[in-house]
C-alpha cells in the first residue's frame, strides 16, 4: 500500500477518484486542453472537430460505411436522437430491456408516440437471442431492434454480436446503446452488422461530459430525412449541416471537443480497445477479488460481468449503512455509486476512467479500513 491512502487519496489533479459510471476521472492533459478558447468557425477548431469525428469512426472500423454525427448534451440526448431520427414515424421498435437504460428507450418512444414493444429480462440476466429470433419470426411489423451493450444498471454484458446476427437474419435494423462500453469493448462494424451505435465523450473514452455521438450507417441515415420530431435532436439535419459547412448547427461544446481530442489521443496511445479494455478488465478483476476477500458478494457471476461497473449486494450487518459508508469513502477521496436495481439492495463501484490497478488496490485498502471503523464485521448479503 502506498502511504497516500493513509491520508486523503486524490487523482493527479487533486480531485477525488470517481469510482462511478461517469462522469469519470480524466487525465490532467485532457483537463488542460480546456484552458483555451476556440471560435467555432476557426480553422483550428474545425480541424479538431474533423479529427475527432474521424477517430471515432476508426474505433469501429467504420470509415467506409458509417458517418459520425456528434451531438451536444449528455448520452441520453444521443440515444433519443438516434431513436427519433432512425425509427420512422410508421416504424416499430423492439427494445431488449434488462435495466433502466432499456426502460428509458421505451420512455423516449412513448414521448415520441413511436410504436414499440419491450422484451424484458431480469437485471441480473442478459437478454435472450433465441427469444428475439422467435419474436422477429412472429412480429413482421418490427422494423428496428434496440439493445444496450453493457446495461450500466447492473453492469451486465449483453450479447450484442448474437443479437446482431439474428436481427440481420430477419432483415431488420439494429440500434445499439454502447454508452458505457464504447472504447473498452469492441463494437466492430466489420464483424457485426448494425445501423447505429450511440456513445458519449465521458465514459470509457475518458473525455469530459458535454457531448455524445452516434455512428450511423450512411445508407440508413440518408433515408432518415424528416423522421425526427425534434429540431435539436435531428441527426439527419446535424449531419447534413456539418458536412456542408463544417459547423455544428448550434453552439458547439468547444472545450469538451478539444478535451475529447486529447482523450482520444491517449486512448490510441494506450492501444485502443485492447489496451483500454485490458486495463479496465484488470481493474475489474482486482476490485472483484478484493471485495470478495472482504466478504462482499457480486450481483453477477463473472461470465456476465462487463469490466465497467460492478454491483455488490448490500451486507445485512446492521452496522453497514450505505450513506455512512459512502460519506466516509468520500472523505478519504473515493466516490462510489448507489445501486439502481429494483431486485436487490445494492451499491456499485466503477472500474473505468483514468485509474490504474494500483489505484484500485489503494481503494480496497481504504474500503477495508472504513468497514473496520464502522464496526462492520460481516459483509455477506442476506441468504438468497
Ligand atoms: C451513461 C449511460 C447513458 C447516458 O446517460 P447520460 O446520463 O444521459 O449521459 C445511456 N445508456 C447507458 C447504458 C449508460 O451507461
Cα(75) to ligand 1 centroid in Å equals 5
Residues 286 and 364: beta-carbon distance below 8 Å? yes
Assigned C-alpha cell, 78: 444521443
Secondary structure element (H or E) that encloses residue 349, with its range:
strand 346-350
User: Which grid cell is 2?
Assistant: 502506498
Clarify whether residues 306 and 294 are in a common domain: yes
Task: Summarize pLDDT for 75-133 with one digit per residue, the tens.
Answer: 999 999 999 999 999 999 999 999 999 999 999 999 999 999 999 999 999 999 999 99
In angstroms, the first-to-last Cα distance of the chain is 35
Question: How far, in Å, CA of 171 to CA of 193, rounded?
Answer: 11
Residue numbering of the annotated binding site:
348
Kindly report the CATH number assigned to the domain that includes residue 352: 3.90.1150.10
346 and 222 in one domain?
A: no
Cβ atoms of 309 and 350 within 8 Å: the answer is yes
Which of 200, 204, 211, 214 is the pocket-test mutation for ligand 1 (most atoms within 8 Å of CB)? 200
pLDDT above 60 (res 12): yes
- Domain assignment present for residue 4? The answer is no
The number of folded domains in the chain is 2
For 267-291, what is each residue's pLDDT tens digit?
999 999 999 999 999 999 999 999 9
Report CA(200)–ligand 1 centroid distance (Å): 8
- Do 35 and 49 belong to one domain? yes
Please give the Cα distance from 360 to 341 (Å, whole number): 24
Candidate of 102, 160, 179 to mutate for ligand 1, largest count of ligand atoms within 8 Å of Cβ: 179
Looking at the fold, whether 178 and 144 belong to one and the same domain comes out as: yes
Same domain, 163 and 74: yes
**Which residue among 82, 83, 126, 152 is best mutated to probe the pocket of ligand 1, counting the most ligand atoms within 8 A of its Cβ?**
152
Residue 229 confidence class, pLDDT cut points 50, 70, 90: very high
User: Which run of H or E residues covers position 51?
Assistant: helix 43-59
Whether ligand 1 lies within 6 angstroms of the CB of 208 is answered as no
> At residue 251, does pLDDT exceed 50?
yes
Q: Which of 356, 201, 212, 159 is nearest to 276 (CA)?
A: 356
Buried b (16+ CB within 10 A) or exposed e, 350-360: bbbbbbeeebb
Q: What is the pTM of this model?
A: 0.96
Determine phi and psi for 346, rounding to 5 degrees: -155, 170
For ligand 1, whether the C-beta of 200 sits within 6 Å is yes
At residue 130, the pLDDT reads 98
Any domain includes 5: no
Q: Does residue 45 share a domain with residue 109?
A: yes
| Whether the CB of 180 sits within 6 Å of ligand 1 | yes
Q: How far apart are CA 318 and CA 325, in angstroms?
A: 12
The larger pLDDT score, comparing residue 85 to residue 4, is at 85
The band of 6, judged by pLDDT with boundaries at 50, 70 and 90, is low
Residue pLDDT, tens place only, 349-374: 999 999 999 999 999 999 999 999 99
CATH number of the domain bearing residue 126: 3.40.640.10
Domain of residue 130 covers 28-268
- Residue 379 belongs to some domain of the structure: no
Amino acid at each position: 500500500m502506498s502511504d497516500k491512502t493513509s491520508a486523503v487519496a486524490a487523482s493527479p489533479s487533486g480531485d477525488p477518484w470517481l469510482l462511478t459510471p461517469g462522469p469519470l476521472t480524466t487525465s490532467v492533459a485532457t483537463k488542460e486542453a480546456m484552458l483555451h478558447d476556440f471560435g467555432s468557425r476557426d480553422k483550428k477548431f474545425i480541424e479538431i472537430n474533423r479529427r475527432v469525428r474521424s477517430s471515432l469512426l476508426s474505433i469501429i472500423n467504420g470509415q467506409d460505411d458509417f458517418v459520425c454525427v456528434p451531438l451536444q448534451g449528455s448520452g441520453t440526448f444521443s440515444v433519443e436522437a438516434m431513436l427519433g431520427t432512425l425509427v420512422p414515424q410508421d416504424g416499430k421498435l423492439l427494445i431488449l430491456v434488462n435495466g433502466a437504460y432499456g426502460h428509458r428507450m421505451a420512455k423516449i418512444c412513448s414521448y415520441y408516440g413511436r410504436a414499440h414493444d419491450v422484451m424484458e429480462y431480469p437485471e441480473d440476466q442478459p437478454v435472450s437471442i433465441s427469444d428475439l429470433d422467435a419474436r422477429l419470426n412472429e412480429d413482421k411489423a418490427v422494423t428496428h431492434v434496440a439493445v444496450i451493450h453493457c446495461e450500466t444498471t447492473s453492469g451486465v454484458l449483453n450479447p450484442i454480436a448474437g443479437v446482431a446476427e439474428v436481427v440481420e437474419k430477419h432483415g431488420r435494423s439494429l440500434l445499439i446503446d454502447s454508452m458505457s462500453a464504447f472504447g473498452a469493448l469492441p463494437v466492430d462494424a466489420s464483424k457485426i452488422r448494425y445501423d447505429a451505435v450511440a456513445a458519449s465523450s465521458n465514459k470509457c473514452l475518458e473525455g469530459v461530459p458535454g457531448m455524445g455521438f452516434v455512428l450511423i450507417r450512411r445508407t440508413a441515415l440518408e433515408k432518415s430525412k424528416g423522421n425526427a420530431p425534434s429540431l435539436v435532436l435531428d441527426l439527419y439535419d446535424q449531419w447534413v449541416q456539418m458536412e456542408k459547412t463544417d459547423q455544428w448547427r448550434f453552439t458547439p461544446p468547444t472545450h469538451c471537443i478539444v478535451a475529447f481530442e486529447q482523450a482520444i489521443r491517449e486512448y490510441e496511445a494506450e492501444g485502443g480497445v485492447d489496451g483500454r479494455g485490458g486495463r479496465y478488465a484488470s481493474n475489474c478483476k482486482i476490485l472483484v477479488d478484493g471485495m470478495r476477500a472482504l466478504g462482499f458478494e457480486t450481483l453477477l457471476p463473472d461470465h456476465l460481468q462487463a469490466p465497467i461497473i460492478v454491483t455488490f449486494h448490500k451486507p445485512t450487518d446492521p452496522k453497514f449503512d450505505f450513506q455512512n459508508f459512502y460519506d466516509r469513502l468520500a472523505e478519504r477521496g473515493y466516490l462510489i455509486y448507489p445501486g439502481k436495481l429494483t431486485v436487490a439492495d445494492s451499491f456499485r463501484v466503477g472500474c473505468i476512467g483514468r485509474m490504474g490497478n494500483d489505484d484500485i488496490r489503494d481503494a480496497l485498502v481504504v474500503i477495508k479500513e472504513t468497514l473496520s471503523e464502522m464496526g462492520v464485521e460481516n459483509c455477506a448479503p442476506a441468504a438468497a
